[in-house]
Chain A
Amino acid sequence: MKRLVALTAILLLAATGCSGTDDNEGESGGKVELTYWSWAPNMDKVAEVWNAAHPDIHVTVNKQDGGDPAVTKLLTAIKAGSGAPDVMQAEYQKIPTLVAANAIADIAKEAGSLKSKFPDSAWNSVTLGQSAVYGVPQDSGPMMFFYRADIFQQLNLQAPTTWEQYADVARKVHAANPKQYLGTFSANDPGWFSGLSQQAGASWWGVKGDAWSVNIDDANTRKVAQYWGGLVQEGAVLNTPMYTPEWNAALNDGTQVGWLGAVWGPGVLSGSAPATKGKWKAALLPQWDAAKPANGNWGGSATSVTTQTKHRKQAAQFAGWLNTDPAALKALAQTANVYPAATDATATALTTPPAFFAEQTDFYALAAQAAKATNPFTYGPNVNVAYNAYNDAFGKAAESRQAAAFTAALGTMQTTTLDDLKKAGFKTA
C-alpha cells in the first residue's frame, strides 16, 4: 500500500505539473534573479562577469540545444502562462514570429538609446522597421568566401571577386579534376540562400503601413536563383546539401575547395575538415557589382526580454550590458565564440584571427568590412513557412539539375509564403 501511495503521489505531481518551481525564485532579500536561455557555448562564463560586477542582479544561464528548439520551448511556456526565462537568445529571423506570438517584449524605453552602437542592418532586425525594440543585437553572421589557398595556387587561380569570376573559377576547378568542386547548392540551408539574396538586394518581407508584403520572387532573388540553377545545370557546382558526412569528407580531402560561409565558418571548418588547417583563406563574398560592394548575413541573433519576466528593467539592463559593454564583448568574442554585432567590437574584442586561420591576420578586418556592407533585410512573421518551402521546392529543383526549375521553385516559395500569411489573417499588400 505504501508503494501505491507513493506512486500515486508521484503521478499526481507529474499530472499537475512541476512548473511551480520557477515562479517563486523572483526576489530574495532585494536581489533579482534572472534566467537566461542561450545556446552559445560558455555563455555561463560570460554571465559570471556580469554577476561579479552586479551583486544585486544575478543571472543564471540555462543552456539550450539551439535556435529552433529554444523557440518551440519558449512558445510552449508562453502558451502555458509560466516557465519562460527572463532573457532569451533569439535568432533575427525568429523575432517577428516571437513578437507575433507576444513572447518577447518591447524594450524601446530601456534599450532604445543603444541604436548608435550597432550597424543599421542589425538594428533593423530588432525593430522590424518600427519604433519598438524587441531585443539588443548580439551577433551577426556576415557572409564570407573561404577557399583552399594551396589548391588555388596549384591551379594558378585568383580568389573570385565577382560572381562572374566565381562561375569561371568553379568551371576551372572542376575541369582540372572532375571530382573537385568549388561549391555546392544546398537546398537544406535556407539561411544560406537568403543571405545570398540579401547581398543581391532582396528583402523577402516588408512592412507597408499596417500590411506585410512578400517579395521572395523579386528580380534580385531571381538573379541569384538563376545563377545557381545555371551552375548546377552545367555541372560546375554540386547539387548536394551541406553539413552531411559526405560534405565533411569532401572538405577534408580537398575535393570541396571552397565554401560560401559566414564569419563563424572557421569553427565549422575546424570541426569538418581538421586535416586542412592552415590551408584555407578567407575573402569577401564575390560581388554582383564590384563598384558597389554588398553583403548578406547567414545567422545572427539578439538578446530579447520575454513578456513573462517580472523584472523587465533589470533584464533589459543585462541585455544591453551583454552586447555593448567592452568587457562583455571581449568575453562574448573570446569565450563564447560569438561575432558581436556591436560596431566597435572589432577594434576592442577581436584582435587575433581564429586559430583555424592563424596565418590570416586581416580575418576580422575583412569580417568588419563584410558586416559594414551588409544590406538591410526584413524578416516576416512566417519565416519558417518560407524556409520549409525553400527546402521542398529547391530540393526538387536541385535534384532535377534544370536551371528553369530553380526559378519555378522561387515562385512556389513566394505563393506558399504569401498564402500562409493570408490564411492566418495577416493583412497583406
Chain B
Amino acid sequence: MLARARAPYAFLAPALVLFAAFLAAPILYTAYLSLWKVKVSGLGLGPDARTEVWAGLGQYADALSEPDFLASVGRVALYGLIVVPVMLGGALLFALLLDAGRTRIGPFARISIFLPYAVPAVVASLLWGFLYLPRVSPFVWVLEHSGIGAPNLFSSQLVLYAVANVAIWGGTGFNMIVIYTALRAIPSELSESARIDGASELQIALRVKVPIVRPSLIMTFVFSLIATLQVFAEPMNLKPLSNTISTTWSPLMTVYRDAFTRNDIHSAAATSIIIAVATFALSFGFLKLVGNRAFGQES
C-alpha cells in the first residue's frame, strides 16, 4: 500500500528535480540577487573594498527610471507591432492557401516556408546582415544597377524594420505549421457543406476555418508576444555591423550588457525579473481576456 502511495512521487521525481534545479532555483536566486548591490569604498582596489549591501527595491527603481531601458521598451513595443501582425498574418495566409489544396507543390511549399525556422537566429542574423550591407549585398547591387537605388537598411529610420524582417523570416514557418495542423484537423464535411450551400473559398476560409482554429491563433499570438519581449539574438548579432543598434537596443540586451560586460549581476537580475513579470502579466492577461471566447466553444 505504501509502495503504491509512493509511486506517483517516484514518477514525478525527474520532472520535479529538473524543475527545481533548472527553473525554480535560478529564478529564486535571481530574485535574491536583485535585492542586493555591490558597494565599493575608496579606490576599490583592496581585497575588502567591495561589500554586498542590501538594496531592497533600489535596483528596480533604478532600472525603471533608466531612460535607455524605457526607450528600449518603447522600441520593442513598436517592433512587436510590426512583427506580430505581419508574421501571424503571413502564417495564416500560407496555412489557408496550403489547406485549400489547389496546388501540386503543397508539400514542397510547406517545407520551404518552414525551413527558415530551422535556421538558428544567430545564423539568420549574420546571413541577413550580409544582405543588408550595401557593399556586399547582391540585392543592393541589382537595385543600383537597375537605376532604382537601394535604401540603407542600417540607417536609424529603417533599422527597426531590418531587425523585424529577420524575426518574421524565421518565425512565419513555425506559426504556419501550427495553424496548418489545426486546419487539417477540421472535418472536411464542414467545408463541403458550406460549399454546397454556395459559399466561396474565401467565405469558407473566413467564416468556417478561421473561427475553428482560433485557439491555435491565440496560442501562436502568445508565443509571438513572448518572443517579441525577449528579442535578443537578432539585434545582438546585427549590432557589430551598424552604428544604429545600441548596447541597450532591447530590454534583454540591457540585461546582457549589465551582467556580462559591466559585471553588475545585481542590476541585471533586477531587470530580468522586470522583464519576466511583464511577460507573465501580458501573456496571462491576454489569455484571460480572450480565454472564455476562444476556448468556450470547446466545453
Q: Which residues of A contact B (CB under 8 A)?
A: 1, 4, 7-8, 11-12, 14-15, 68, 71-72, 75, 96-97, 99-102, 128, 130, 132, 187-188, 207, 210-212, 239-241, 243-246, 249-250, 307, 381-382, 384-385, 387-388, 391-392, 394-396, 398-399, 424-427
Contacts and interface: CB of A to CB of B under 8 A. Distances in A.
A212 B241 contact: no
Contact of A388 (B47, B49, B135, B247): B247
Contacts of A99: 45
Interface pairs A-B: 6 shortest CB-CB: A395-B243, A425-B40, A15-B21, A246-B133, A392-B246, A100-B44
12 contacts: A4-B10, A11-B21, A72-B263, A99-B45, A100-B44, A102-B49, A250-B135, A381-B45, A384-B261, A388-B257, A392-B68, A396-B246
Nearest to A210: B42
The secondary structure that dominates the A interface is helix
B21 A392 contact: no
Contact of B38 (A240, A396, A424): A424
Contacts of A187: 243
B243 A398 contact: yes
A427 B50 CA distance: 13
Given A246-B135, A388-B247, A8 B262 contact: no
B50 A100 contact: yes
Nearest to B14: A7
B244 interface: yes
B17 interface: yes
A370 to B, nearest CB: 27
Give the bracket for the number of chain B residues in contact with chain A: 35 or more
Given A14-B21, A72-B263, A424-B40, A102 B14 contact: no
B1 interface: no
A7 B11 CA distance: 12
B41 interface: yes
A387 B261 CA distance: 9
B260 interface: yes
A211 B40 contact: no
A58 B50 CA distance: 34
Given A8-B17, A188-B240, A426-B40, A391 B247 contact: yes
A138 B63 CA distance: 39
B43 A212 contact: yes
B21 A101 contact: no
